[in-house]
Amino acid sequence: MKITKFIVILIAVSLLTSCAGKREINDLAIVLAVGIDKGEKQKFKVTVEVVRASDARGQTGSPAGNAGDPMWIASAEGDSIFEAIRNISTYSSRRVFWAHNYVIVVNEELAEKEGIKDIIDFFTRNPELRMRTWIVATPDKAGEVVSTQTGLEVIPGEALSKLFRYNPISAVSPRTQIRDVHTAYLSESSDPIMARVKLQERVVPNKADGGGGGGEKPPGGEEKGKGEPSIKQIEMSGTTVFKKDKMVGTLSKKETRGLLPFIENVGTAIIPLTCPGKEKEKITVEVKKNKVEVLPFIKDNAPFYKINLSLTTNVVEANCDFDIDDRKMIDEIERNLEKKYKGYIKSALEKGQKEYKADIFELGKTFENKYPEKWKSFRENWDEKYAAAKFDINVKAEVQSGVLLYTPTQPGSRGK
Amino acid sequence: MDKEIKDLLKQQFNQNLTTNIETIEKVLDKSSDLVKRDFVIHGTSNLRAVCYFTDGLVDKLQVEHVLESLQYEFHKYLATSDGYVDFENSADSLNENLLYNSSVSTTKDLQKGIDAVLIGDALVIVDGLSEAIIIAARGYAMRSIAEPTNEQVVRGPRDGFVENLRTNTATLRRRIRDPLFRIDSVQIGKKTKTDVGIAYIKGLASDDLVEEVKARLSNIEIDGILESGYIEELISDGPWTPFPTIQSTERPDKAASSILEGRVVLLIDNTPFTLLMPVSFWQFLQASDDYYYNFYIGSFFRLIRYIAFVVSLTFPSIFVMLASFHQEMIPTPLALTIASGREVNPFPVLLEALLMEISFELMREAGLRMPKPIGSAVSIVGSLIIGQAAVQAGLISPFMVIVVALTGIASFAIPNYSSSFAIRLMRFPILIASGTLGLLGFTFTIGLLLIHLISLRSFGKPYFEPFAPYEPNEFKDMFIRSPWWSMKKQPSHVTQNTNRVGSNQMPSPPKKGEEDES
């Protein structure tokens, strides 16, 4: 009897819920990228890139495929981001699903005028959104960026995400996630940064019709009428700098290279240098490892930072004669590299500290960690203290190897 | 009528042969397989005797041999006193001097005599003797020893139990020659009177356990035992559970190893399936090869089986739960692939999974019941129609086919059929709960299942041991199979810790210097 009751209750529990909260995976509009622009009539214009799964995957046995685009772009305006999204659902037949969002693209004009406060709030408050979504700024229309098919990836959102995932190879933009921006925004000293992407026309040499990688013509690929076919590509181009929640400026790719050691573990970077003694020829080194130490001190009641950067590099291409045993030459390459890297860091610090007055290097945090007591008196007027901070930059570079070759690549060098 | 026969059976043998014959024929009537052989003992004054046996159950050569010696030699050994036959002592004299048969006994009870006839012995009644002579002459056609088809091994003995109890006890005895190895016998079933052997090693199997088994067996009241499943259900600790709390096996090596671990084995006549008790749940995931191969191989395949267990229990439920409730938990590229496969699918995921699971079970059952030559047709039709056509028609998503197929294969990797069946059965409630309540339903049903499993007992021993209660020492032979030289103790699950492997059994090359000693 007891068991009968138990079973009846179990069956009732599962049947009477009528599958509450159930939503089939094929009834979702899975958002892979979202772009936020300034609206024409209202405050925000939100553009979502929804993947059309059957076309993105080319599923055999699903007759719905072959209808064309792997994605569906929808945009709507609203006075708040959530209102704009709700406006999208007035014409989206499927429920907009955010959990798989790869990337948030913010228009720089919006970031400059309206600030990113609303964006940070919305994207961290909503439980369906992840804190580890990439967030980038763009000088172009964000809606255009999220709907640009690059040709290599089927879905643009995926292309953007992979661009960041494999970003350490190029090291020209920081890898910023909504979590980092959120943290920096909430922090009393640090200021947020975002990776900067822009649309760039790239000539496709071998194509007459300007098509991308596939057979179909991607929407971004348009002919300019000048003869050269080209396709729009999303590319990384430095950093966007914010003061509190307003955008104040950008860092170029080279300046970003000076910024990166402060905030994250840089992977590899390719640095072309002039050959010692031969101005016209180039020798290229690849930074394999870098170790940075930011040591805060107090000097004249102002912060003073000692920045020690040590680089381990390989020579990956030598146009001039390069011999790994040639100590003198290596020394010179190392000095050149040190000079170059010092320049990067200096220019980044210059811009951040003097021009934008934004602590994007997490210098306040470093200081607080070392002098928690002193920080109490500094925190009130950190902006002034930061502006008065002095730096001592030491770069130590080491050329470790010539990869596979020890001797110069020159005719007749074999058999010596 | 019934009562009359019952009263008759309580009688004892009469000195008068004619009365005896009348009684026996009243009881057994005229069964066509009952053979009555009248004869006269030579050298006496027409001393009549009769031999009863069941045709087909006896070895006729043996019977003829006995009859021959009785007819021609009996008079020489008839005990006489005062020139008359001394019937009081004749039976013993006969026993001691004449019968060449290896097993002869006398009885006074009619009941026992008739039982002997029905079991395949020959019953000899001599006029004037108040005792009947039972001569063991059993010999009937039976299946020869063959490899058990349900529990195959790659390495290991190829013999299996057969339907004959005696052969089975012999197979066990050949493996365990310990003088303390006991095979006690009871008869169960009012009508079938099935012989049941209780095999254990005295001292190793705890006395309580043996007593408990015997007590439970003696409590059974049933008309017939046709298979060990009857006994299993009548003595198991959890009458409602789908999980087997008694293990059944056709493999003598498995039974022998159980006996060596201090368990009790029940051998039941007329079935090759023996029962091992007590068991823990994890034993169902262990195969005998584990112990015969190198321990790395044994451990690896055991781990594979644990994976198979988890997969066959939960895989469809996890898929249904993720695809209909928690899409955020699926990695994005995989989510897109699943979504694209389901794009034209008319059914909700839960219904699709239930349909596929049921059709899979249908195919399995049909393949089992079909006559063997047609059996392969089922799999061809099944795989073609379900696997190919249903996906192409857009009825079933390809992902679901993979999920169900993988689940099916995983359930076949579980070595014990009855536990594999229990796991397959439990899949359905978990599936329905996950499809209606999502992760909540999934964890809830898994929780219920665990509570149920932990509360189960097998002959008083916790079913989930050594996992719960936690016995770290027993883990040597649970997820992995440790090398034999490191498993020094018997599993404490069933018996007190006794040494099984001597110390310092790990082989190593001889040290220098010691080499020359021998």
- pLDDT tens over chain B, length 518 residues: 577 777 878 888 888 888 888 888 888 887 888 888 888 887 777 788 888 898 888 888 888 888 888 788 777 776 665 556 666 666 677 767 666 666 778 888 888 888 888 888 888 888 887 888 888 888 887 888 889 888 888 888 999 999 989 899 999 999 999 999 999 999 999 889 899 999 999 888 888 999 999 999 999 999 999 999 999 999 999 888 999 999 999 999 999 999 998 899 999 999 999 999 899 898 889 888 899 999 999 999 999 999 999 999 999 999 999 999 999 899 988 998 888 888 888 889 999 999 999 988 888 888 888 888 887 787 788 777 777 888 888 888 888 999 999 999 999 898 888 888 899 899 999 999 999 888 999 999 999 999 999 999 999 889 988 888 888 878 888 888 889 888 888 777 677 667 788 888 888 888 776 655 54
Interface touch B324/A25, C-beta < 8 Å: yes
| Alpha carbons A25 and B338: distance in angstroms, whole number | 8
- Nearest residue, CB atoms, B340 vs list A18, A62, A97: A62
Residue B187's SS3 state is strand
| Alpha carbons B389 and B392: distance in angstroms, whole number | 5
| Alpha carbons B247 and B150: distance in angstroms, whole number | 14
The CA distances from residue B21 to A109, A162, A384, B88, B265, in Å, are 117, 98, 125, 20, 41
Query: For residues A331 and A273, is the Cβ–Cβ distance under 8 A?
Result: no
The CA distances from residue A330 to A281, A393, A402, A410, in Å, are 15, 22, 10, 18
Query: For residues A252 and A238, is the Cβ–Cβ distance under 8 A?
Result: yes
Residue A207's pLDDT is: 62
More confident residue, A217 or A196: A196
Which residues in chain A are closer than 8 Å to B437, comparing Cβ atoms?
Answer: 13-14, 17, 20
DSSP string, A94-123: SEEE-TT--EEEEEHHHHHHT-SHHHHHHH
- Copy the structure tokens of residue B441: 């339903």
Determine the longest span between alpha carbons in chain B, in angstroms: 108
Distance of CA B33 to the CA centre of its chain: 30
What's the pLDDT tens digit per position in A363-416? Answer: 888 889 999 888 888 888 888 888 888 899 999 999 888 888 877 777 776 665
Distance from CA of B471 to the nearest CA of A (A): 32
A164 CB-contact burial (10 Å; exposed 0-12 / middle 13-18 / buried 19+):
buried
Residue A218's pLDDT is: 45
Distance from CA of A345 to the nearest CA of B (A): 37
Which residues in chain A are closer than 8 Å to B398, comparing Cβ atoms?
Answer: 59-61
Q: Which of A71, A70, A73 is nearest to A35 (CA)?
A: A73
Residues of B with CB under 8 A from a CB of A: 240, 323-325, 327-328, 330, 332-333, 335-345, 348-350, 391-392, 394, 398, 429, 432-433, 435-438, 441
Which residues in chain B are closer than 8 Å to A62, comparing Cβ atoms?
Answer: 340-341, 343-344, 394
Distance from CA of B400 to the nearest CA of A (A): 13
Cβ partners under 8 Å of residue B7, min gap 6 = none
| Alpha carbons A51 and A34: distance in angstroms, whole number | 12
Distance from CA of B332 to the nearest CA of A (A): 6
Least CA distance to B396: which residue of chain A? A61
In this structure, how many other beta carbons lie within 10 angstroms of the beta carbon of residue A386? 22
- Copy the structure tokens of residue B440: 């909540």
B12 CB-contact burial (10 Å; exposed 0-12 / middle 13-18 / buried 19+):
middle
Query: For residues A353 and A387, is the Cβ–Cβ distance under 8 A?
Result: yes
Residues of A with CB under 8 A from a CB of B: 3, 10, 13-15, 17-26, 28, 30, 32, 51, 53-65, 97, 99-100, 102, 128, 158
| Alpha carbons A324 and A397: distance in angstroms, whole number | 15
CATH 3.30.300.210 for domain A252-416: yes
- Nearest residue, CB atoms, B335 vs list A23, A25, A64: A25
Distance from CA of A100 to the nearest CA of B (A): 6
Residue A221's pLDDT is: 45
Interface touch A99/B429, C-beta < 8 Å: no
- Nearest residue, CB atoms, B349 vs list A10, A24, A128: A24
**Count of pairs with CB atoms under 8 A, one residue in A, one in B:** 106
In this structure, how many other beta carbons lie within 10 angstroms of the beta carbon of residue B378? 18
Distance from CA of B350 to the nearest CA of A (A): 10
Write down the domain spans for chain A.
Answer: 252-416
Residue bearing tokens 């914010």: A242
Q: Based on C-alpha coordinates, what's the Rg of chain B?
A: 31
**Cis ω on the peptide bond leading into residue B466 (within 30° of 0)?**
yes
| Alpha carbons A122 and A128: distance in angstroms, whole number | 11
| Alpha carbons B414 and B309: distance in angstroms, whole number | 7
| Alpha carbons B338 and B487: distance in angstroms, whole number | 47
Query: For residues A206 and A217, is the Cβ–Cβ distance under 8 A?
Result: no
Residue B360, H or E segment: helix B349-369
Query: For residues A107 and A161, is the Cβ–Cβ distance under 8 A?
Result: no
A201 CB-contact burial (10 Å; exposed 0-12 / middle 13-18 / buried 19+):
middle
Reply yes or no on whether the pLDDT at A63 is more than 60.
Answer: no
Interface touch B341/A30, C-beta < 8 Å: no
Distance from CA of A19 to the nearest CA of B (A): 4
More confident residue, A66 or A360: A360
- Copy the structure tokens of residue B484: 């034999």
The CA distances from residue A24 to A225, B18, B353, in Å, are 46, 85, 13
- Nearest residue, CB atoms, A64 vs list B332, B333, B343: B343
What's the pLDDT tens digit per position in A118-161? Answer: 999 999 998 888 898 999 999 999 999 998 887 788 888 888 88
DSSP category for residue A393: E
Interface touch B344/A100, C-beta < 8 Å: no
Residue B354's pLDDT is: 93
Candidates A26, A52, A94, A132: best to mutate against B (most CBs of B within 10 A) is: A26
Distance of CA B348 to the CA centre of its chain: 43
Interface touch B340/A21, C-beta < 8 Å: no
DSSP category for residue A58: T
Query: For residues A209 and A217, is the Cβ–Cβ distance under 8 A?
Result: yes
Which residues in chain A are closer than 8 Å to B336, comparing Cβ atoms?
Answer: 30, 51, 53, 56-57
Least CA distance to B388: which residue of chain A? A61
Interface touch A100/B335, C-beta < 8 Å: yes
Q: Which of B329, B344, B319 is nearest to A57 (CA)?
A: B344
Cβ partners under 8 Å of residue B110, min gap 6 = B8, B9, B10, B11, B12, B13, B23, B24, B27
End-to-end CA distance of chain B: 80
Contacts 24+ apart (CB under 8 A), B2-10: B8/B110, B9/B110, B9/B111, B9/B114, B10/B110, B10/B111
Candidates A8, A9, A59: best to mutate against B (most CBs of B within 10 A) is: A59
Residue A44's pLDDT is: 92
Which residues in chain A are closer than 8 Å to B241, comparing Cβ atoms?
Answer: none
Residue B516's pLDDT is: 54
ipTM, interface predicted TM-score of the complex:
0.83
Residue A225's pLDDT is: 47
Phi first, then psi, for residue B508 (nearest 5°) are -150, 155
Q: Residue A236 forms beta bridges with which residues? A: A197
Interface touch A19/B435, C-beta < 8 Å: yes
Distance from CA of A414 to the nearest CA of B (A): 50
Which residues in chain A are closer than 8 Å to B342, comparing Cβ atoms?
Answer: 24-26
DSSP string, B34-83: EEEEEEEETTSSSEEEEEEEETTTB-HHHHHHHHHHHHHHHHHH--EETT
- Nearest residue, CB atoms, A53 vs list B339, B349, B433: B339
Interface touch B339/A32, C-beta < 8 Å: no
* Residue B491: CA count within 13 A, CB half-sphere: 25
Residue B110's pLDDT is: 86
| Alpha carbons A135 and A106: distance in angstroms, whole number | 8
Distance from CA of A250 to the nearest CA of B (A): 32
Which residues in chain B are closer than 8 Å to A61, comparing Cβ atoms?
Answer: 341, 391-392, 394, 398
Query: For residues A236 and A195, is the Cβ–Cβ distance under 8 A?
Result: yes
Distance from CA of B406 to the nearest CA of A (A): 20
Which residues in chain B are closer than 8 Å to A22, comparing Cβ atoms?
Answer: 324-325, 348, 435-436, 438
- Copy the structure tokens of residue B396: 């079933």
